[in-house]
Structure 1
Amino acid sequence: MMSKENYEYAKTLYEKWGIDVEEVLGKLRNIPISIHCWQGDDIGGFEVNRQELSGGIDVTGNYPGKATTPEELRSDLEKALSLIPGQHRVNLHAIYAETDGEVVDRDEIEPKHFANWVNWAKEQGLGLDFNPTLFSHEKAEDGLTLSHPNKDIRDFWIRHTIASRKIAEYMGKELGSPTLTNVWIPDGYKDIPSDRLTPRKRLKESLDEVFSVEIDEKYNVDAVESKLFGIGSEAYVVGSHEFYMGYALKNNKLCLLDSGHYHPTEVISNKISSMLLYSDQLALHVSRPVRWDSDHVVILDDELREIGLEIVRNDAIDKVRIGLDFFDASINRVAAWTIGTRNMIKALLYAMLTPNEYLKQLQEEGNFTERLALMEELKTYPFGAIWDHYCDEMGVPVRENWLDEVKEYEETVLSKRK
C-alpha cells in the first residue's frame, strides 16, 4: 500500500527547491504518450493478404497470447491503458485497416476502413496517430519504395501515403485532436552505392507530390522519420537524418527522431534542444536500441531520463509529441506496453521534479562543482513516493501491483487464444 507519510515527506524535500509537487502532477496528467498498437501483435496487421515482415524489421520471441483480431488487439490495449496513469493516444499503422474480408491494396485504403478504430477511440477518450506502411508488401520486396527507380512502384507508394494522410485527417476531425502522420520508409542498399544523390532526388520528388495534396492541418500534422541503417540497407539509407532534417525544416513538416535510428554512440536527447531552435514542434519515437535498432522495451535508463529532462527543462512539453516504438514478443505484450509507457511517464515526472532553473543558473555562473553535486544527489531523492502517489491518485496500480492484473488477464484471456 502507498504511504501518505512517504509522499508528504518527499513533497517537503522537493518544495525546498521551489517545486510545487501538486502543480507538477496536474501538468503530468495532461501529457499524452502515443502508444504504438504494433507491440500487441508483432506488427502483423489485419490485411487479408497479410505478408511476412520485411524492410529490415524483425520481431523475436513467440510468447503466447498474441492478438490476432482487431477486437483482441483493442482489448489488450484497454487492459494496458487501465494500468497506465493519464490519458493517452494510440498509434496505428495502415496495415491495421479492417476491410471485412475484402482484399484492399494499400493505395486503396479509405477512412471507412478505420471507422472501428475511431469509434473505439471515442469510447475510450483517446487520440489516434497514424503511419503509412511502406514495408511487408510485394512492391517493397527489393527494399525500395518512394525512391524506387520504377515510376509505377513509386506512384503506388505515393498514392498509399496520400491515402494515409486523408485517413489521418478523418481521424483528427472525428476525435477533435490532430493526428500525427509519420512517414518512414525502408529504402536503402545493402552494399556501397555508386550513386547516393539520385535516390534522394527521387525521394524528395515523391514527398513533394505526397504533400502537394492539401490536408487540413487542424486535423493532421505531417512528420518524416530518418534512419541510419537497417537490415538489408547496412551501407546506405536514402532517408538519412540530414535528408529529413533539411526536408522538414524547408517544408514546414515535423522531424521525427527515433531513439534507435542513429549511430550507437548518438542519443536523441542531445538533438532535442538544437532541433527546437529551428522548428516549432518535434516528434519522438522512444525505443531502446541494444547495439542496433532492436526496439527493446523502454526502461528508465540514463537516456530516457535525459529525454525527459530535455523536454521539460527547455519548456517543450507542448512542442514535443512523444510516441513509443518497441516490439518484444519474448515477454507478455500487455506487460511490455505497461512497462514502457509507465517508464516514459516516470522520466517526465523525474524531470519535472528537478530544480532545472537553479541548475541552469549554476552553469551560467560557472559553478560546476555545485551543479554536479546537486544533479547527483537529486538522483536519490524520494521520487518513487511521488510516483506512487500519482498512480494511486489516477486510479491505477501502485508499484509492481499492476503485474497481478496482467497475470490474471493472461490466465483468463491471453492463454485461451490459439
Structure 2
Amino acid sequence: MDQTVTNTYNEAKKLYAAHGINVDEVLEKLSQIKISLHCWQGDDVRGFLFKDKELSGGIAVTGSYPGRAGTPDELRKDLEKALSLIPGKHKVNLHAIYADTDEKVDLDELEPKHFQGWVDWAKDQGLGLDFNPTCFSHPKAADGFTLSHSDEEIRRFWITHCKASRKIAEHFGRELGQPCVTNFWVPDGYKDTPVDRLSPRVRLKESLDEIFSEEIDPQYNIDAVESKLFGIGSESYVVGSHEFYMGYGLTRGKAICLDAGHFHPTEVISNKLSSILMFSEQLLLHVSRPVRWDSDHVVTMDDELMDIARELVRGDLLPRTNIGLDFFDGSINHIAAWVIGTRNTIKALLRAMLEPIEELKRIEQEGDYTSRLALVEEFKSYPFGAVWDYYCASQGTPVREQWLAEVKAYEQEVLLKR
C-alpha cells in the first residue's frame, strides 16, 4: 500500500479517536454492507428476453453512449469490471427480462433454469443476486395496466409472472446462501383523471394477495413492494401509491421499497426511514438521484444521499435495510456510472459512520443544541477522505480517481469494439 495513504490514514485516526471513534472498527463494519448493483444500467434496460423491443410503461433512457452490453456474457463482464473498482463484496439486481436462455419463452413461463448462467456466475464471483418481475415493455402492458387490469386474462398473465419470479428468487437464495430481495413495482395508472380510483386498487390488492399466498422462507427470499407518485403515462393517477403500498406492506409483512425519486419533487425519503422501520421489519432502498423528479440520474454525494446515510447509521437501521441502486444513464460510460454511484453510496455511509453519534445524541438529550450544531458542522470537514482512500486500498481497489483510467482502457479494449 502507498505509504502516503497509510500515513494520512493514521493521522486521521487520531482525530477521530479523540471523539471515541474507532476507525478500524468502522471499516470492518463498512466492509459487511452489501450494495445491490442494478444490471439494467449496463444495457439501457433492454434485457435479453425480447429482442429489439421498445421501452414502455414509464421507462425511458436518454443518451446513446457506445458499448452497452448486448448479451448476458457481455453484461456480466462489464459488471465484473465495475465491481473490481468498488470496495467490498456486493450483490447484483436482475430484472426478469435478463434471462440467460436461448429458449423462446414469455414472462409467465420463466423458471429458475432460465437464470442458471447468472447463478453460476454469482457463485464464482462470491456475489448475491436480487430480482424483479418485469411488468413493463410488454404487449400485455401496452395500455398501462398489469396486476390491476380490468381484463382477468391479462391480470392472470401478470400474476403468473410474479409467482414465477418469487420461485426464481427462492432458487437464487438457496443456491447462493443469502436472501434474494424480490421487488414488485408495476406501472399501472391513468394519464388523465379517473372516475374510479378504488376498483384498480382493489384488484391490485387481490392480485398481490394471490402472488404472495405461497409462503417462502425469508432466508431465501424477501418480498418488497414499491410505490410511485406518477409516471410517464400515469401522470394523474398511480394505482400503487405510497399510501397503498405502505398499508399493504405493513399489514402483509412485506418490506416497503422507498425510491429516492418516487415522491413529490420537494419530498425526501431520508425523513421516512425511522418512521417506517418502527413498524416494518425490513426496508428496501432504491438509491437514485432525481433531477426535478424521477429522472434516475447517477448517484452523487449530495445532501439527500448524506441524509439517507446518516439516518441509517444514527438509528442503527442498516441491519434491516437492503440498499440497491436504481438509475440508468445512457449518456455516459455505462461502467463508470455504476462505479460513481456505488462508490458514492458507500462513501456516504462511511462519512455517516465517522460521526460521534453517541456524543451527539447525549448533547441533544441535554438540550445543548449549540454544541450539536457546531459538532455536526465541524465533522463535515474532518478527513474522511483519508479513511476512504485507505479503505479502497485495503480492499484492493483504486484510490481516488485512479479507477477512471481503468474504465477508459476497458472502453478502448472492449466497449468500442462491440
Verify same fold: TM over 0.5. Answer: yes
RMSD: 0.9
Work out whether residues 50 and 97 of structure 2, in 8 Å CA contact, stay in contact via their aligned partners in 1.
no
Q: Which moved more, 1:47-56 or 1:17-26?
A: 47-56
Displacement of 1:79: 0.0
SS in 1 for 2:232: coil
Instruction: State how 1:120-199 maps to structure 2 within 5 Å.
Output: 120-199=121-200
* Unpaired runs of at least 5, structure 2: none
Displacement of 1:374: 1.0
| Cα distance in structure 2, aligned partners of 1:125 and 1:269 | 31
Residue 13 (structure 1) aligns with? 15
Instruction: State how 1:388-399 maps to structure 2 within 5 Å.
Output: 388-399=389-400
Displacement of 1:50: 4.6
Displacement of 1:62: 0.3
Residue 253 (structure 2) aligns with? 252
| Cα distance in structure 1, aligned partners of 2:32 and 2:304 | 23
Residue 61 (structure 1) aligns with? 63
Q: Deviations over 1:79-113 (max 9, x none)?
A: 0000000000000000001221x320100000000
- Quickly say closer, same or farther: Cα 1:285–1:240, change in 2 above 3 A: same
Residue 96 (structure 2) aligns with? 94
| Cα distance in structure 2, aligned partners of 1:132 and 1:394 | 33
| Cα distance in structure 2, aligned partners of 1:350 and 1:29 | 14
Instruction: State how 1:223-302 maps to structure 2 within 5 Å.
Output: 223-302=224-303
Work out whether residues 32 and 86 of structure 1, in 8 Å CA contact, stay in contact via their aligned partners in 2.
yes
Corresponding position: 1:200 with 2:201? yes
- Equivalent of 1:38, from 37, 40, 46? 40
Corresponding position: 1:353 with 2:354? yes
SS in 1 for 2:92: strand
| Equivalent AA in structure 1 for residue 356 of structure 2 | P
| Equivalent AA in structure 1 for residue 168 of structure 2 | I
Q: Which moved more, 1:406-415 or 1:5-14?
A: 5-14
| Equivalent AA in structure 1 for residue 314 of structure 2 | R
| Equivalent AA in structure 2 for residue 360 of structure 1 | K
| Cα distance in structure 1, aligned partners of 2:51 and 2:34 | 34
| Cα distance in structure 2, aligned partners of 1:309 and 1:253 | 24
Work out whether residues 49 and 103 of structure 1, in 8 Å CA contact, stay in contact via their aligned partners in 2.
no
Residue 317 (structure 1) aligns with? 318
Residue 369 (structure 1) aligns with? 370
| Cα distance in structure 2, aligned partners of 1:372 and 1:50 | 54
| Equivalent AA in structure 1 for residue 186 of structure 2 | I
SS in 1 for 2:130: strand
TM-score by length of 2: 0.98
* Unpaired runs of at least 5, structure 1: none
| Cα distance in structure 2, aligned partners of 1:356 and 1:214 | 39
| Equivalent AA in structure 2 for residue 255 of structure 1 | I
| Equivalent AA in structure 2 for residue 124 of structure 1 | Q
Q: Which moved more, 1:50-59 or 1:242-251?
A: 50-59
TM-score by length of 1: 0.98
| Equivalent AA in structure 2 for residue 79 of structure 1 | K
| Cα distance in structure 2, aligned partners of 1:360 and 1:191 | 48
Residue 110 (structure 2) aligns with? 109
- Equivalent of 1:28, from 27, 30, 36? 30
Displacement of 1:49: 4.5
Corresponding position: 1:73 with 2:80? no
Work out whether residues 189 and 237 of structure 1, in 8 Å CA contact, stay in contact via their aligned partners in 2.
yes
Residue 222 (structure 2) aligns with? 221
Work out whether residues 172 and 179 of structure 1, in 8 Å CA contact, stay in contact via their aligned partners in 2.
yes
Residue 379 (structure 1) aligns with? 380
| Cα distance in structure 2, aligned partners of 1:106 and 1:216 | 24
Q: Deviations over 1:32-63 (max 9, x none)?
A: 00110000000000014552101111100000
Q: Deviations over 1:316-365 (max 9, x none)?
A: 12110000000000000000000000000001100110111111222222
| Cα distance in structure 2, aligned partners of 1:282 and 1:384 | 29
Q: Which moved more, 1:308-317 or 1:32-41?
A: 308-317
| Equivalent AA in structure 2 for residue 152 of structure 1 | E
| Equivalent AA in structure 2 for residue 178 of structure 1 | P
SS in 1 for 2:82: helix
Equivalent pairs counted in the alignment come to: 416
| Cα distance in structure 2, aligned partners of 1:66 and 1:263 | 32
Q: Deviations over 1:13-48 (max 9, x none)?
A: 111110000000001111000110000000000014
Instruction: State how 1:333-348 maps to structure 2 within 5 Å.
Output: 333-348=334-349
Poorly superposed stretches of 4+, deviation over 4 Å: none
| Cα distance in structure 2, aligned partners of 1:52 and 1:79 | 28
Q: Deviations over 1:352-391 (max 9, x none)?
A: 1011111122222221111111111111111100000000
